[in-house]
Amino acid sequence: KIKRNISVGAEFIEEILKTQKDHKYAFSILSVLYPHLDYSNKDFHKDHLHPSNLYKTLKEDIKSKIDWHSYNSIANLQMLNSNENQSKQDKPLKVWVESQTNDTNKETFLKGHIIPSMSLELDEIESFLTSRKKILKMRLNEILN
């Protein structure tokens, strides 16, 4: 019997969410968050929800609040198979979601991609990351505890 607490705490989950795209554990973290995907073909990409090339277009007041480390973290990443990622390319998140959904399947799509149902405009990145972190924290808490 283990006589100490081995549960995963809020501080640990917060650190997980800071993991950067190219970190050696990023793929593993994302695969835990997206367990419904079939990883047997090993053809998955770590994809920025808000594309990385758009970071430089952020207004300075937004950049002062959302640095590259936040933008490049698990909070702005998803797992996509290579075909999905190639079709998404560098489309802004809002444009990509609109191209993939309609009124009947949008909520299911957002839930499957762990995207909060809110404004997906790039200038709302601060609110987006805050909302997405809440969802990811809850999901990781359920999975890891």
Q: Tell me the per-residue pLDDT of 64-121, one tens digit each, with 9 for 90 and over.
A: 999 999 999 999 999 999 899 999 999 999 999 999 999 999 999 999 999 999 999 9
Query: CB neighbours of 101 closer than 8 A, spacing ≥ 6?
Result: 109, 110
Query: CB neighbours of 34 closer than 8 A, spacing ≥ 6?
Result: 78, 79, 114
Helix (H) or strand (E) holding 125: helix 125-144
* SS3 state of residue 83: helix
Read off the pTM.
Answer: 0.91
Give residue 70's pLDDT: 96
